Chains A and B, each alone.
Chain A
Amino acid sequence: MGFEGIGAAVRRREDLRFISGRGNYTDDINRPGQLHAVIIRSPHAHARIKGIDAAAAKAAPGVVAVFVGEDMAADNLGGLPCGWQVKNKDGSPMAEPPHPVLAVGKVRHVGDPVAVVIAETKGAARDAAELVSVDYEVLPAVPTLEAAQKPGAPLVHDGVAGNICYDWHLGDKDAVDAAFAKAHKVGRLELVNNRLIPNAMEPRAAVGEFDPASGDYTLYTTSQNPHVIRLLMGAFVLHIPEHKLRVVAPDVGGGFGSKIYHYAEEAIVTWAAGKVKRPVKWTAERTESFMSDAHGRDHVTVAEMAMDKDGRFLGLRVRTQANMGAYLSTFAPCVPTYLYATLLAGVYTTPAIYAEVKAVFTNSVPVDAYRGAGRPEASFLLERLVDICALEMGLDRVEIRRRNFIPSSAFPYQTPVALQYDSGDYTATLEACLKAADWAGFEARRAEAKKRGKLRGIGISTYIEACGIAPSAVVGSLGARAGLYEVANIRVNPTGSITVFTGTHSHGQGHETTFAQLIADQFGVPMSQVEIVHGDTAKIPFGMGTYGSRSLAVGGSAMVKAAEKIIAKGKRIAAHLLEASADDIEFKDGKFQVAGTDRAKALAEVSLAAYVPHNYPIEELEPGLEETAFYDPKNFTYPGGCHICEVEIDPDTGVVQVVNFCAVDDVGRVINPMIVEGQIQGGVAQGIGQALLETCVYDENGQLLSGSMMDYTLPRADDLPNIKVGTAITLCTHNPLGVKGCGEVGAIGSPPAVIGAVVDALKDYGVRHIDMPATPHKLWRIINANRPRMAAE
C-alpha cells in the first residue's frame, strides 16, 4: 500500500472525469421547470438611479419576473455582509457601508447589478433585459487609489469621508524610528502591486431552487466554501434558517480565491426561486466575470529599510494604500492587513517593523483575496526592497539575504509583526535553488546572450508565507467574524470501505486524490476503498472550505484526528473479538492485531462487527464505526523557499522571455509530489502572469479597458518556461502530519524573482525597479529613453 500512501506520486483520480467532459459543474445542473436569469448591470462607474422602467420587459414573451433593488428591500432582505472587521489606528471600527444585493439609489462600479430579468429561456431573458430602461444621472467617478484620495474627491459612499475604509497600523513605530535614526544606510522603494482579474476557467454560476411543499431552499453554486455561503446568505441576506437551506458546490473549475465570497447572484437566484416558485439559473458570461468577480491586489506602497554598516536590517517602515473597490467583499479588509503586514518580516531578522495601511473605496469592482492574498504583496515589496538594499550597500543580492536570514537554530521565531514561525531552513532552500539554477554560471550565460543581441538577467526571491489559516481565537481577536477550524467525518462502512466527508472543497487542487492517499495511509487500505465527499451542506459537517492553502494543514489534520478516534474504537471492538485487552491491540497495515501474536482482525471484520453487533461489547461501546473531528489549528503554517528566474530581453522590442525558472520550496511533508509540483507550477504561471502580462486598467471614467481576453493578458503556455520545481522540507511542528501547504507559494514567491531578473537585465540602463507588469511597451520605453545616454557613455 506504500506506493499509494503518503509520498506517492499517484495520478489524480478526478482527472478522467474532468478531461473527458464528465464533470458535474453548476452550469451542468438543470432542475425541472427551471427559469433563466439575466442580470442588468451598470454601464457607469458612478451614477444615481433616477428610475427604472421595467414595464415593457415584464410584458415581453417568456418573461416571468423582473426584480429591482426596491423589490428586495421590500422583503426586508439584508445586504451582502463583510466577514472581517478591521479597526482604525484609534481603535474605532472600519467604515462598513451597505452593500445591497441589487443597487438601490446609486451604482458604484461598472458591472454593479441593478435588476434581474427571469424568463423561460436565456434568450428571452436577454431580449427582455434590453427593454429595461434605467434612467441614470452619471456622477464623476473615482476608479483609482489616486483619484479617490484627491482633496474634494467625489464620495463612493455618502457617509464615508475621504473614501477611507480604514487607516490601520501594526508594529512598533518608536522602535522603527529609533532604528532609522542610527541607520548606516537606507533602502527606499515606491511600488505598485498591480490589480489582477482572477479568471477561473469556469465562470461563476448559480441555480436557486425552492420547494413549496417543504419550504426548503437549495442553492447550487460555484463556491469554494458552501457552508460559509449558507451561513452568510441564510443568516444575513435572505433570513432563511440554516436547516431550511442547502448549498451545493459541485465540481468547480478553479477559484483562486474569487469563489470564496458570497456574491449577489447567489442571493438573487435563491430569493427569486422562492418568489416565482420555480428554479432559477444564472451563469456568468466571461464579460460579466471581468466586471463582477472580485479582483485581486491593487496596492501602492512606500517602503524603507534601515541598515547597519554590514547591511543587516535594523528596521522596516511601510506605508500602503489598498484599493477595496466599491464595496467590501467578504474578506477584503483582512487581505492588506492581517494577511499582508504580518508577513513583512519575511525570512529576515529585522527587529523592528512598522506598517501603516490605508484602505480606500473606489468606483471599481470589489477587491478581495486572490491566490496568495496579501502575501504576494508582502513578498513582492520585501524582496524588491532587499534587492534595492543590496544595490544601496554594494552587496551581492544573495549575500545580503544570507546576512539577514533567520537562522535555522532560531525556531520557534517570534517576528515583530505578531507571527511566530515554527520551522524552516532558509539556507537549505536557497542553496538548493542556487545550485538548480546554476546561479554561479550566470555571467557566462549573460555574455553569451549579449552576443546574440539579448539582455539577460537573473533574479532571486527568498520568501515566506503564512497559510493554513488559522487559530480561530487568534483570527477572532483580529476581527474575523468566523472560526477557521476544519472538520472531517470518517465513515467506515460495514464492509470496510471508507467514506470521508470533509469541510474543505476541491476546485482543481486534487483533494479527491491527496485525501484518499492520506486515508489509505492511515488505515492501510487501498485508495480504491476510499471515497472523498465534499461540497454539499446536506452531506458534510459544518466546515469552512478551501482557501489560503488550508485544506491539508487544517482539513487533513481533522482527518487524522478522526482516524485516530476510529482506530481507538476499532481497537476496543477488536479486543472484544479477539478476547484480548484493548491496550494490547496494535493497528497496522489495515489489521488490528494482538501485539506479539498472529491473532488479528482486519478493518472490514471490525467494521462489520460494529454494524452487526451480535458479538459486541454493547454495554461499553455504541455500535457503528463513524467519527467526526473538528481541528482548530494552533498556529499558521509557514511555507517558504527560494525562486530564481532568468530572462532575456530583446532590446529592439522590449519583449521578455523567461528562459529559466527554478523553485525550491519548503511546503512541509509532501503527500503527493506530482500534485505539489503541479500546484507550484500553476502558482508560478500566475506569478509570471502578474509580473509580465496581467493588469487591470480602468480609464478616468471608471470604464474597464481590460474587460475581456482581447485586452487582459493571461499567461499562455508559450509565455512560460519549463518551470523546475524542487522541495527541501522541514516539518510543521504543530500539526499531526507536519504539512504546511503548497497552493499559493508559486504565486507568492515568483513575481519578485521575475522582476528582479528584468531589472538585472536592464541594470546598465539606470533601472532600479520596474512596476508590474513588465510589458514590452514599458521596457522599450525604458530602453529607448536610456539609449542615447548609453551611447554617449
Chain B
Amino acid sequence: MYDFAYHRPSSVADAVKLLASDPDAKVMSGGMTLIPTLKQRLARPSAIIDLSGIRDLVGISVSAGAVTIKAMTTHAAVAASAEVKKAIPALAAMAEHIGDAQVRNRGTIGGSIANHDPAADYPGAVLALGATVHTNTRKIAADDFFTGMFSTALAPDELVTAVEFPIPEKAAYVKFPNPASRYAMVGVFVAKGPAGVRVAVTGAGANGVFRHTAMEEALAKNWSPDALHDVGTAEEGLNGDIHASKEYRAHLVGVMAKRAVAKAG
C-alpha cells in the first residue's frame, strides 16, 4: 500500500473535524473493503481516519418499536445479540452469514452501508425494513440513502452513527452466494411491518440494492410464496458476469424471494 497518515479519533466530532480538513482522507470502520483496496494500491488516501477508537459508536438498543444498531457494531455482535434475535430474527440471521468469521468480527454495519458494495447483505436489510440511517448531522430514510453502486447520500464529511430498524411483523433474508467470492450474487430481503410490505434485492442490481415494487404489490395482496409465481424481474439494470447472466440473476431473484417469504412465515 501507499503511505498515509493514520488517525484514531475518540469522538465523532474529532473524526468529522479530521475528515472536513482533508478531502483526500478516508474513513475506516472495519476496513474489510478498504484494507484490501489499499493493499492492491487501488486507493491512495492521504490519511486513514480509523473509527475503532470511538466507543460511542458501538452498541445495540431495542425500544418498543425499533432496534437501533450503532455504526461500529460488528456483524458478529449483531448475529449474537439476544435482543436482535428476539426483535428482528431475520436481521441477526443475515448478520450471521455475512462473509466469514474473520469478516464478521471486524466488519461493521456502518461500514457496510456507507460503502454500498452492490453485493453486500446489509443494504438489503436496511432498505427492506425501511430503516432510518442516523448520521452526525441528520436522519436519512433508507429509500433516500442508497444512490447507486458504491454511492450513498452521505456528504463527504458526514458519518453514519447508527441505523434504526423498525420492528417488522415478518421478515426474512435469503441469498444465493457467488460460488467463488461468496458475496451475495442475489439476495432478497422481504419484510412486512410498519412500513408496509417491502422487498429489497441486493447483489443482482448494477446500481446496488433496489426495491422490487411488483413483488411488494403482489405480497401486499397475498403474503405467500405463491403470490410471486407470476411476478417477473426485469433483466435491465441487473449485473451479468462469468458466474451469472442477467437472465439467471433475474430468475434467482424470484426463487430467493419465494424462499424468503416462505422462511418469514
CB pair B41–A126 under 8 Å, yes or no, is yes
CB pair A775–B243 under 8 Å, yes or no, is yes
CB pair B41–A777 under 8 Å, yes or no, is no
Complex contacts, B180 vs chain A, CB 8 Å: 706, 709-714
Cβ-defined partner of B242 (8 Å) among A126, A287, A697, A781? A697
Q: Does B37 contact A (CB under 8 A)?
A: no
CB pair A710–B251 under 8 Å, yes or no, is no
* A701-720 interface code vs B (CB 8 A; 1 in, 0 out): 00001100111111000000
Complex contacts, A780 vs chain B, CB 8 Å: 248, 251
Q: Does B102 contact A (CB under 8 A)?
A: no
Q: Does A43 contact B (CB under 8 A)?
A: no
Q: Does A88 contact B (CB under 8 A)?
A: no
Complex contacts, B245 vs chain A, CB 8 Å: 777
How far apart are the CA atoms of A130 and B40 in the complex, in Å? 13
CB pair B179–A775 under 8 Å, yes or no, is yes
Complex contacts, A776 vs chain B, CB 8 Å: 179
Given contacts A126-B41, A710-B180, contact A777 B255 (CB under 8 A): no
Inter-chain pairs besides A777-B245, A781-B248, 13 sampled, C-beta below 8 Å: A130-B41, A653-B252, A653-B255, A697-B242, A706-B242, A710-B178, A710-B181, A711-B180, A711-B242, A711-B243, A713-B179, A775-B179, A776-B179
Q: Does B141 contact A (CB under 8 A)?
A: no
How far apart are the CA atoms of A693 and B243 in the complex, in Å? 10
How far apart are the CA atoms of A657 and B2 in the complex, in Å? 43
Most buried by A among B41, B178, B243, B244: B243
Complex contacts, A713 vs chain B, CB 8 Å: 179-180
* B118-155 interface code vs A (CB 8 A; 1 in, 0 out): 00000000000000000000000000000000000000
* B243-260 interface code vs A (CB 8 A; 1 in, 0 out): 111001001100100000
Complex contacts, A714 vs chain B, CB 8 Å: 180
How far apart are the CA atoms of A255 and B207 in the complex, in Å? 41
Complex contacts, B243 vs chain A, CB 8 Å: 711, 775, 777
Residue of B nearest to A709 (CB): B180
Q: Does B176 contact A (CB under 8 A)?
A: yes
Residue contacts A-B, CB under 8 angstroms, 27 given: A126-B41, A127-B2, A130-B41, A287-B40, A652-B255, A653-B176, A653-B255, A693-B179, A697-B242, A705-B242, A706-B180, A706-B242, A710-B178, A710-B180, A711-B242, A712-B180, A713-B180, A714-B180, A775-B179, A775-B243, A777-B243, A777-B244, A777-B248, A780-B248, A780-B251, A781-B248, A784-B251
Residue of B nearest to A692 (CB): B179
Chain B interfacial positions (CB closer than 8 Å to A): 2, 40-41, 176, 178-181, 242-245, 248, 251-252, 255
How far apart are the CA atoms of A780 and B244 in the complex, in Å? 10
Min CB distance, B36 to chain A, in Å? 10
Min CB distance, A485 to chain B, in Å? 42
- Chain B interface mostly: loop
**Interface residue ranges of A269-299 to B (CB < 8 Å):** 287
* A116-146 interface code vs B (CB 8 A; 1 in, 0 out): 0000000000110010000000000000000
Complex contacts, B248 vs chain A, CB 8 Å: 777, 780-781
Residue of B nearest to A776 (CB): B179
How far apart are the CA atoms of A777 and B255 in the complex, in Å? 14
Complex contacts, B252 vs chain A, CB 8 Å: 653
Q: Which 5 A-B pairs have the closest CB atoms?
A: A713-B180, A710-B181, A713-B179, A652-B255, A697-B242
Complex contacts, B255 vs chain A, CB 8 Å: 652-653
How far apart are the CA atoms of A652 and B258 in the complex, in Å? 11
* A140-176 interface code vs B (CB 8 A; 1 in, 0 out): 0000000000000000000000000000000000000
Residue of B nearest to A716 (CB): B182
Min CB distance, A771 to chain B, in Å? 15
How far apart are the CA atoms of A675 and B242 in the complex, in Å? 37
How far apart are the CA atoms of A710 and B248 in the complex, in Å? 19
Min CB distance, B130 to chain A, in Å? 28
How far apart are the CA atoms of A126 and B39 in the complex, in Å? 11
Residue of B nearest to A719 (CB): B179
Residue of A nearest to B258 (CB): A652
Min CB distance, A330 to chain B, in Å? 29
Min CB distance, A704 to chain B, in Å? 11
Residue of A nearest to B182 (CB): A716
Cβ-defined partner of A711 (8 Å) among B176, B181, B251? B181
Cβ-defined partner of B181 (8 Å) among A287, A693, A705, A709? A709
**Interface residue ranges of A699-756 to B (CB < 8 Å):** 705-706, 709-714
Complex contacts, B41 vs chain A, CB 8 Å: 126, 130
Complex contacts, A697 vs chain B, CB 8 Å: 242
Min CB distance, A700 to chain B, in Å? 13
Min CB distance, B97 to chain A, in Å? 12
How far apart are the CA atoms of A713 and B242 in the complex, in Å? 11
Complex contacts, A706 vs chain B, CB 8 Å: 180, 242
Min CB distance, A123 to chain B, in Å? 8
Min CB distance, A327 to chain B, in Å? 26
How far apart are the CA atoms of A287 and B242 in the complex, in Å? 18
Most buried by A among B179, B180, B244, B252: B179
Complex contacts, A127 vs chain B, CB 8 Å: 2
Min CB distance, B197 to chain A, in Å? 23
Residue of B nearest to A650 (CB): B255
Residue of A nearest to B186 (CB): A653
Residue of A nearest to B256 (CB): A653
How far apart are the CA atoms of A711 and B179 in the complex, in Å? 8
Min CB distance, A706 to chain B, in Å? 7
Complex contacts, B2 vs chain A, CB 8 Å: 127
How far apart are the CA atoms of A653 and B179 in the complex, in Å? 12
How far apart are the CA atoms of A287 and B55 in the complex, in Å? 37
Complex contacts, A705 vs chain B, CB 8 Å: 242
Min CB distance, A194 to chain B, in Å? 13
Min CB distance, A455 to chain B, in Å? 15
How far apart are the CA atoms of A784 and B251 in the complex, in Å? 10
How far apart are the CA atoms of A6 and B248 in the complex, in Å? 53
Complex contacts, A653 vs chain B, CB 8 Å: 176, 252, 255
Residue of A nearest to B249 (CB): A777
How far apart are the CA atoms of A780 and B251 in the complex, in Å? 10
How far apart are the CA atoms of A452 and B255 in the complex, in Å? 16
Min CB distance, A199 to chain B, in Å? 12
* A650-677 interface code vs B (CB 8 A; 1 in, 0 out): 0011000000000000000000000000
Complex contacts, A710 vs chain B, CB 8 Å: 178, 180-181
How far apart are the CA atoms of A348 and B205 in the complex, in Å? 52
How far apart are the CA atoms of A775 and B178 in the complex, in Å? 11
How far apart are the CA atoms of A711 and B241 in the complex, in Å? 10
How far apart are the CA atoms of A713 and B243 in the complex, in Å? 10
Min CB distance, B40 to chain A, in Å? 8
How far apart are the CA atoms of A200 and B243 in the complex, in Å? 23
Residue of B nearest to A654 (CB): B248
Min CB distance, A143 to chain B, in Å? 14
Min CB distance, B235 to chain A, in Å? 14
Complex contacts, B176 vs chain A, CB 8 Å: 653
How far apart are the CA atoms of A706 and B241 in the complex, in Å? 11
Complex contacts, B251 vs chain A, CB 8 Å: 780, 784
How far apart are the CA atoms of A127 and B3 in the complex, in Å? 10
How far apart are the CA atoms of A693 and B182 in the complex, in Å? 13
Residue of A nearest to B179 (CB): A713
